[in-house]
Structure formats: C-alpha cells, structure tokens
Amino acid sequence: MSGPADPAPSTAAHPSATDERPYSPGLEGVIAAETALGYVDGVNGRLLYRGFRIGDLVERGSFPAVAELLWTGEWDADAHLPAAPVPDQVMDVLRRLPPTAKPMDALRTAVSAWGATQALPWPPTVEQARALTAFSPSALAAFARLRRGLDPVEPDPELNLVEGFLYQLNGVRPDPGTARALDAYFIVGAEHGLNASTFTARVIVSTRSDLASAVTGAIGAMKGPLHGGAPSEVVEQIHEVGSPERAEAWVREALDRGDRLMGFGHRVYRAYDPRAAALRKVAESMDTKPDWLDLAIRVEDVALRVLAERHPERALKTNVEYYAAPVLMGVGLTPDLFPTAFALARHAGWTAHVLEQVVASKLIRPDARYVGPAERDLPA
Ligand code: ACO
C-alpha cells in the first residue's frame, strides 16, 4: 500500500465545531419519553401512579392491583395474580448456578432463560407482562432455596404474588402481617419514572426486541449500586451507631470523614420521599419489626438535623431505602436479597413502560458529540 511519508495535516474543521446542540451528561434534565404511569414530584415529595397517591395505594391497594393499574389503567382492588411455575429448563439453569452467585445475577439469568423458553411474539402484551411478573418471584425463591441445599417449592395458586413469593421462599405460608408488609414494599417499588433501569428497558424494546430481553437488561442496570439502592448498608449503619446516645457523634464523625449517610438524599426528591413515609408506617406497625427500628428513628432525627446544618444549600431528606431496610429485614429477607426484592417489585413498572414504548413506536437512538481527533490520514 502506498501513501504519503507524513500524515497530511487536515484542512477540515473539527466535526464538532459547528455542532451547537445541547449536551446533558447523564441525560440529566432531558425529557426522553412521555409516560402516563408514574409522576415523581421531587419538589413537593409526591409520587403518583396514574394519578393515585402512593400513600393511598399502600393503604388500600395490593401489588397485583397496582400492577394491573400500571399495565391497563384500570383499578381493580381485588386483582389476583398468583406466582407462576418455573419451566423445567429454567430450573435446570438455576440448579447449575454456583450457590455463591449474586441473587441479582441469578434473577437476570432466570429471566433471560425464561425468554428463551417462551418464543415471545412481537409486540409485548399485558399477558406477557403478567406472565413474566408472576414468574420471577418463583425463580428467585427457587434459587434462594437451591443455594441452601433445599428443594424449590411449587407456587400455591390461591396466594397472591407477594404472599406466594414468601411461601415459596420459606416453605410455609407467611402470617398476614408479614405478607402485607412486603406487599407494601412491592407497591412503593413498582414504578418511579424514567430511572436508569426503566430507560434501559425502553431502549431495548424500542428496537422491537422482546419483553424478556428488556427486563433482563433492566435487571442488569438495576444491579449497579448507584441504582439498586442501599438498604443493606442502612442496616450496617444503624448497627455501627449502636445506641441513641452515640447517634450525634456517629453522624458528625461520618460526615467529617466525607462519608455519605445511607438512606438520605435523592437525585429528584428535595422533600421527604413519600415512599419512605409510607414504609415508615408499615415498619412501625409490624409485629416482626427489627429491634433496631426505634434506634433508626432516633438516628434519622439527628441525621436530618445535622445534614441541614452541613448542607444548607441542598435539601437532603430521608429516602425510600431508609425504611425499606426495616421492612425487608422484618419480613425475614437476608440483606443480599434486598436488591432482588426491589427488582421483583419494579417488574410492574418496567413491563408497563415496555407497553408504553411499543405504542410510542420510536427507536431510541440519541447522538453523541464527537470529541476525538479531526479527520486525518493513516500514518504511512
Ligand atoms: N450523606 C451526606 N452527604 C450527602 C448525601 C448523604 N446521603 N447525599 C448527598 N450528599 C451531599 C454530597 O456529599 C454533596 O456534597 P458536596 O456538594 O459538598 O460535595 C451534595 O450533597 C450533593 O450530592 P450529589 O451526589 O451531587 O447529589 P445527587 O443528587 O447526585 O445524589 C444520591 C443522590 C446518590 C442518592 C446521594 O444523595 C447519596 O449518595 N445518598 C446516599 C446513598 C443512598 O441513600 N442511596 C439510595 C438512593 S434512593 C434509591 O436509589 C431508590
């Protein structure tokens, strides 16, 4: 191949020189979709699902009713969605995973394997959304038992999804208070606008890929610690504090070290996270609440006061993770299952967004600003 001895200096202007389109790192502030599902009002601390307040949904709804509301727009307080059996081929896959696998990896793998057994037709439908949302709790419960050397438990069709999940996890029906508490957690976790995992699901299905691929990708996005939340770290934090008398000194020392207080602050909420308020009530009413809940409430008071003192410019309030921790612990989940509980709940929102994206029927394909070298010749 022949060519000039030295690369010729380019006479072309840099490709980005005339590109004046706005760039928003992380897409912050960019409206990338329209949705009728969830309204996150960060200034006033409101969260609405199709217009209904989250606090009312927690008090008077159930997870299946909320999922149906998201999928169909209809409110049916008596909606019934039992857990679905795990197909044999998917169970084989779960049996082959190492018991040390992270539960989020197991769940992501299970959803992907489920998709391979379903030959899901295009477009995704409400029936597909129901089927996948009903499958995943069974798959996770099966993995949680297999890794302990126990046999999986078949779903009980009489039980609603969350109660059925606890039954399949533990092999005994949960008491109504425990089932109700986890159901409340699932309701607050069901939907939250165009967060990273939901955006991932919408991007995937915008290519006319299928529902299982969209949710597999969404689980992958949620696995990251910046999204999957921090409730297990909240538990560690409260244990470190140890007693109410130590709270003030502990909080101040943590902030002096530059640490972040887990369960405080939020990208969108500048007011108290309404999900935290709902879950605090649930946690306080549980018979099986952890013995450190009172301490957590004392620590919260101190933390809010000191955060306001240290950051007068930025409202740092309690977020959902703070009170998710006692609820998830109180229902008997081990901390390594906390992120998967969030993912199971968010199946409702992910799949509802997939259905919306199908109607929007627009490939999501943003541009990148090119900042590499200007046009040039290859070296000789
Ligand atoms: N503790 C102490 N300081 C905090 C906290 C916190 N929890 N949150 C924010 N700040 C401070 C930061 O140090 C920063 O201060 P600086 O400007 O002096 O450096 C300022 O507030 C702004 O912080 P950002 O990270 O820019 O704010 P952002 O809105 O991007 O962060 C986040 C949101 C990641 C949730 C943050 O508040 C945080 O790390 N919280 C602790 C972890 C947590 O609770 N995560 C769960 C979030 S809810 C969910 O995921 C469902």
pLDDT at 1: 40
- Ligand 1 pocket residue status of 260, Cβ below 6 Å: yes
- Ligand 1 pocket residue status of 275, Cβ below 6 Å: no
pLDDT in tens, 181-191: 999 999 999 99
- Ligand 1 pocket residue status of 311, Cβ below 6 Å: yes
From residue 81, alpha-carbon distances to 41, 48, 167, 184, 288 in Å are 29, 22, 14, 15, 25
User: Does residue 266 carry a catalytic annotation?
Assistant: yes
Best mutation site among 194, 252, 266 for ligand 1 pocket (most ligand atoms within 8 Å of CB): 266
Ligand 1, residue 319: give the atom nearest the CA: 48
Ligand 1, residue 273: give the atom nearest the CA: 48
CB hemisphere CA count around 356 (13 angstroms): 24
pLDDT in tens, 38-50: 999 999 999 999 9
Q: With contact defined as beta carbons under 8 Å apart, do 151 and 175 qualify?
A: no
Ligand 1, residue 192: give the atom nearest the CA: 51
Of all protein residues, the one whose alpha carbon is nearest to atom 18 of ligand 1 is 311
Residue 201's nearest CA partner among 211, 193, 192 is 211
- Ligand 1 pocket residue status of 266, Cβ below 6 Å: yes
Q: Which of 13-22, 212-221, 249-258 has the lowest mean pLDDT?
A: 13-22
Of all protein residues, the one whose alpha carbon is nearest to atom 29 of ligand 1 is 267
Strands (E), the chain: 38-41, 46-49, 52-53
Q: Which of 6-10, 17-21, 53-57, 215-219 has the lowest mean pLDDT?
A: 6-10
pLDDT at 230: 64
pLDDT at 374: 94
For residue 292, the CA-to-ligand 1 centroid distance in Å is 24
CB hemisphere CA count around 351 (13 angstroms): 29
Determine phi and psi for 52, rounding to 5 degrees.
-90, 135
pLDDT in tens, 90-119: 999 999 999 999 999 999 999 999 999 999
How many other CB atoms are found less than 10 A from the CB of residue 199?
A: 18
Q: What is the mean pLDDT of residues 168-194?
A: 97
- Name the active-site residue from 68, 163, 192, 266: 266
Q: What is the mean pLDDT of residues 252-270?
A: 93
The percentage of residues in the chain with a pLDDT greater than 90, rounded to a whole number, is 89
For the chain, give the mean pLDDT. 94
Of all protein residues, the one whose alpha carbon is nearest to atom 16 of ligand 1 is 311
Residue 97, Ramachandran bin (φ over 0: left; ψ between -120 and 50: alpha; else beta): beta
Of all protein residues, the one whose alpha carbon is nearest to atom 9 of ligand 1 is 265
pLDDT at 226: 78
∠ CA(26), CA(28), CA(33), 5° rounding?
100
Ligand 1, residue 342: give the atom nearest the CA: 51
Query: Would you say residue 9 has pLDDT above 60?
Result: no
- Name the active-site residue from 163, 321, 347, 353: 321
- Non-local (6+) Cβ contacts of 256 within 8 A are none
pTM over 0.85, yes/no: yes
From residue 172, alpha-carbon distances to 156, 159, 164, 175, 311 in Å are 11, 12, 10, 9, 47
pLDDT in tens, 114-135: 999 999 999 999 999 999 999 9
Query: Would you say residue 149 has pLDDT above 90?
Result: yes
- Non-local (6+) Cβ contacts of 155 within 8 A are 82, 83, 84, 85, 138, 164, 167, 168
- Ligand 1 pocket residue status of 234, Cβ below 6 Å: no
**What's the pLDDT band for 229 if we cut at 50, 70, 90?**
low
**What's the pLDDT band for 32 if we cut at 50, 70, 90?**
very high
- Ligand 1 pocket residue status of 344, Cβ below 6 Å: no
For residue 252, the CA-to-ligand 1 centroid distance in Å is 16
- Ligand 1 pocket residue status of 230, Cβ below 6 Å: yes
For residue 272, the CA-to-ligand 1 centroid distance in Å is 14
What is the rounded CA–CA span in Å between residue 327 and residue 333?
9
- Ligand 1 pocket residue status of 259, Cβ below 6 Å: no
Best mutation site among 40, 250, 260, 273 for ligand 1 pocket (most ligand atoms within 8 Å of CB): 260
The percentage of residues in the chain with a pLDDT greater than 70, rounded to a whole number, is 96
Of all protein residues, the one whose alpha carbon is nearest to atom 2 of ligand 1 is 260
For residue 90, the CA-to-ligand 1 centroid distance in Å is 39
What is the rounded CA–CA span in Å between residue 98 and residue 153?
19
pLDDT at 14: 78
pLDDT in tens, 301-339: 999 999 999 999 999 999 999 999 999 999 999 999 999
